[in-house]
Amino acid sequence: MRLSRFFAPTLKENPTEAQIVSHRLMLRAGMIRQHAAGIYNWLPLGNRVLQNVARIVREEQNAAGALEIIMPTIQSADLWRESGRYDDYGAEMLRIKDRHERDMLYGPTHEEVVTDIFRSNAKSYRDVPKNLYQITWKFRDEVRPRFGLMRGREFLMKDAYSFDLDYASALHSYNQMIVAYLRTFARMGLRAIPMAAESGPIGGTLSHEFIVLADTGESAVYCHKAYLDKPIPENVDYNADLSRIVEDWTSLYAAADEKHDPKKAEELGADLVSARGIEVGHTFYLGKKYSASLGAKVVGPDGNQVEVEMGCYGIGVSRCVAAIIEASHDENGIVWPDSVAPFHVGIVNLKVGDKACDEACEKIHDAIERQGCDALYDDRDERAGVKFADMDLMGIPWQIVVGPKGIAKGMVELKRRATGAKEELSLESAVSKLSVTI
Ligand code: ATP
Ligand code: MG
């Protein structure tokens, strides 16, 4: 991609409306623009990152056996009256009337809709276990939308819903999601710690919040130091018993605000970390709350009808983009982990119009793209300082700088955004180095 043809309206100055670094940098790097309070446009750079985060979420959900669907964003109020939540949900629900005066709403969550899909299509114990998920926009009319994507009104969420015949099987589905979450967040460069949580208005008994430690987090959290470098499960067999892994990851002390028990925490002494945290995901075991109120039953092996056991599992996909920036930036801008970067490599042409430089840049660009990586080629007629600043602001993990002096010797400079480390390499070895490292 040539930067001259791209659309990344970067800003030199800090926008005054942004209070936290992720919001500031997303505006400055030209990733997003506000449309209305808590509602955003995603520009090409931001969209590329959002899609990368969504892809990681999707790959890990699929690996854990969940099946992707898409449910409507606009829902009928009828199902919510049936579950009893239409009146309870309160002002966060955006209520709409259609032209026939029927009550509709913009979905803040999808338990009712997914339970309706299940009850009208699944009949027998052979139809379970099932886990259905989607990655779609939610609307919650938050009282105080703030911090950019952290607490928006419209936001992208992955929500999965599991259906099982009995508690033991439901617990296995729950564990599958816990393990998938550990892997998902780690792949996007986040260390998210599962903390025992209150279940809130969605209901249920067993629940964990996945919290990323960050100074700008909205809640105070406390956790055992061992969580900071615990190895993430690899080569997981999702059909095997996962209770040992989950036990290992959820038995150390970790609690957010309302669940914090100072006495219990004190016993840990120096091993306790107290920090602020961002909730990037949430898992709930729901039991029969919705299957009972909406009548979602299957015929069991003994011929009797049973209400199914459910769980629901959310990830704030758009919030993750902000959380990644909170966890990974410096004074010059964003430092994307390779896995979610909008482009893997930036190419800085120091002398646009110089035949040798132009040709070298194009050659590098094409070679990188042939390797399956995305390159952003700064072919603008701009000062070197502006180009370096924009590459760093946009957080491109690898940068290749091409100038007339170097090219005369067949050399370019390769820079790693995260460390600032630079090396002079031949054009070919710069390109092949990227093919191994990415
Ligand atoms: P919070 O406690 O932050 O209000 P919640 O408990 O209401 O979140 P859930 O219903 O558990 O949220 O939604 C699943 C995930 O969606 C959350 O873990 C969070 O990452 C994300 N999320 C929730 N509300 C918002 C929002 N207003 N803006 C962006 N992401 C959100
Ligand atoms: Mg929550």
Q: Do domains 21-334 and 345-435 have the same CATH topology?
A: no
Question: pLDDT at residue 361 above 70?
Answer: yes
Cβ atoms of 190 and 323 closer than 8 Å: yes
Query: Residue 269 has what pLDDT?
Result: 76
Helix 44-63 vs helix 317-327: angle between axes, to the nearest 10 degrees?
110
Domain positions in the chain are 21-334, 345-435
Question: pLDDT at residue 192 above 80?
Answer: yes
Could you tell me if the CB of 208 is within 6 A of ligand 1? no
Query: Residue 196 has what pLDDT?
Result: 86
Q: Convert the pLDDT of each residue in 236-246 to its tens digit.
A: 999 999 999 99
- Phi/psi at 121 (5° precision): -125, -20
Read off the pLDDT band of 437 (50, 70, 90).
low
Q: What mean pLDDT is reported for the chain?
A: 95
Residue 140 CA: which ligand 1 atom is closest?
27
The neighbour count for residue 312, using CB atoms within 10 Å, is 26
Could you tell me if the CB of 92 is within 6 A of ligand 1? no
Alpha-carbon distance of 108 to 152, in angstroms, equals: 12
**Cross-strand partners of 227:** none
CATH of 21-334 given 3.40.50.410, 3.40.50.300, 2.60.40.10, 3.30.930.10: 3.30.930.10
Q: How far is the CA of 214 from the centre of ligand 1 (A)?
A: 16
Query: Residue 435 has what pLDDT?
Result: 74
CA neighbor of 236 nearest in space, from 187, 319, 176, 279: 176
Could you tell me if the CB of 281 is within 6 A of ligand 1? yes
Question: pLDDT at residue 200 above 70?
Answer: no
- Phi/psi at 140 (5° precision): -130, 125
Alpha-carbon distance of 74 to 103, in angstroms, equals: 10
Stated pTM of the model: 0.96
Residue type, 249: W
Query: Residue 266 has what pLDDT?
Result: 81
Inter-CA distances, 253 with 183, 198, 227, 365, 399, Å: 20, 15, 9, 49, 41
Could you tell me if the CB of 15 is within 6 A of ligand 1? no
Q: Convert the pLDDT of each residue in 306-346 to its tens digit.
A: 999 999 999 999 999 999 999 999 999 999 999 999 999 99
Q: Whose CA is closest to atom 1 on ligand 1?
A: 279
pLDDT over 70 for what percent of the chain? 97
Could you tell me if the CB of 314 is within 6 A of ligand 1? yes
pLDDT greater at residue 315 or residue 438: 315
Q: Convert the pLDDT of each residue in 80-132 to its tens digit.
A: 999 999 999 999 999 999 999 999 999 999 999 999 999 999 999 999 999 99
Alpha-carbon distance of 118 to 310, in angstroms, equals: 11
Closest ligand to the CA of 316: 1
Segment 404-408 shows an average pLDDT of 96
- CATH top-level class of 345-435: alpha beta
